[in-house]
Amino acid sequence: MNSKMSRVLALLVIAISANAQNTATYVSIDSFLILQSSRVAILTVLPKDPASLPPTTEGDQAGTNQCGTGNNDTSMCQNLYMNNVQDFCLWGPQTTAEIGAVEQIVVSYCSFPGRGTRLFHNGTIISAHFVETPDFIQITGTGNFQDIHIAAGDAGGELDPHGADGAGNPHGGLVFTNRWTQGTSGLGQQIHEWTNFMSVSQYCIRACKPGPMAAAYCQHIYDVTGCAWNMPADYGEGFTECKGDS
Q: Which helix (H) or strand (E) holds 206?
A: strand 202-208
Average of pLDDT values for 93-101? 97
> Could you give the percent of the chain with pLDDT greater than 70?
80
Q: What is the pLDDT of residues 118-165, one digit of tens each?
A: 999 999 999 999 999 999 999 999 999 999 999 999 999 999 999 878
Average of pLDDT values for 91-95? 98
Using alpha carbons, select from 57, 117, 71, 113 the residue that is nearest to residue 92.
Answer: 117
Q: What is the pLDDT of residues 185-224, one digit of tens each?
A: 888 999 999 999 999 999 999 999 999 999 999 988 877 7
pTM recorded for the entire structure: 0.83
Mean pLDDT score of the chain: 84
Using alpha carbons, select from 206, 174, 210 the residue that is nearest to residue 79.
Answer: 174
Using alpha carbons, select from 217, 227, 111, 112 the residue that is nearest to residue 159.
Answer: 227
